[in-house]
Amino acid sequence: MTVRPSTAVAAVLAVCVAAFATVAALVAAHGWAPYGFERAALDWVVAHRPDPAERAAELLTDLGTGVCSYLFALASGALLVRAARPHRSRPAAVAVLLAPVVWLAVGQLLRQGLMHGFGRPRPPAADWAFTAHDFAFPSGHAFTGALSAGLVALAVTLTRPGAARPAAAAATAFALLIGCSRVYLGVHWPLDVLAGWLLAAAWLALGALLFRKQLRALRATAPGADRSPR
């Protein structure tokens, strides 16, 4: 029995939403205070943070937000334009190009709303090795880094299916490094980062369902498109 890609992506979406809700419930049930293992992780990184490693983590963590993340989203849009081939409509090409950027921006609004709604405090400022603002849960850098890299991997998958696994592996490695850098710099608890990853995966899965539908519609109207029933 072959599982349709859309069915598999929908399953990923459901699992990630359920997992995020579970993590949020666990943290809320603990009064938004850190669990013992989170406190232990923070104590360990503070005791193992030499200057070269700290500087490297600071450079790495900057890749998980700001201009870099939107450049990733724009690159994924450029790949999607190539896949969609909307030759007849320049506005359609622009819409495809900007779709990942808009999806990232809307995701940021969702994450900001959740972060302020939950209001989990960050670790003590004395343990920070990097400037941080607002609340902790879910991690903004973990979410943004995972989502922006995931958008590129998704675009690669849609344009070159044979490169799907390497693209997914690279995006996963990037997301892991960005998320772990936040704990290493002392500005997030581990469950903040896990929640950021889960929320990004859910948002990416929802985007994948929408983008696939959009690409099929554009390809169907492209010159020379095969309009036979499928």
pTM of the predicted protein model: 0.89
Q: For residue 230, is pLDDT > 50?
A: no
Is residue 139 domain-resident? yes
Q: For residue 97, is pLDDT > 60?
A: yes
Residue indicated by tokens 């609340």: 135
The boundaries of the domain holding residue 57 are 5-220
Residue indicated by tokens 């902790």: 136
Is residue 230 domain-resident? no
Q: For residue 88, is pLDDT > 80?
A: no
Are the C-beta atoms of 36 and 115 separated by less than 8 Å? no
Are the C-beta atoms of 179 and 145 separated by less than 8 Å? yes
What are the φ/ψ torsions at residue 52 (nearest 5 degrees)? -60, -40
What integer is the mean pLDDT of 127-153? 93
- Confidence (pLDDT) at 217: 60
What's CA 130's distance to the chain center, in Å? 21
Is residue 228 domain-resident? no
Residue scoring higher pLDDT (224 or 104): 104
pLDDT digits (tens, 9 = 90+) for 31-66: 999 999 999 999 999 999 999 999 999 999 989 888
Is residue 23 domain-resident? yes
Per the prediction, the chain carries an average pLDDT of 88
- Confidence (pLDDT) at 214: 67
CA–CA separation, 194 and 70 (whole Å): 22
- Confidence (pLDDT) at 218: 56
Q: How far apart are the first and last CA of the chain?
A: 18
Whichever domain contains 47, its CATH number is: 1.20.144
In the chain, the number of structural domains is 1
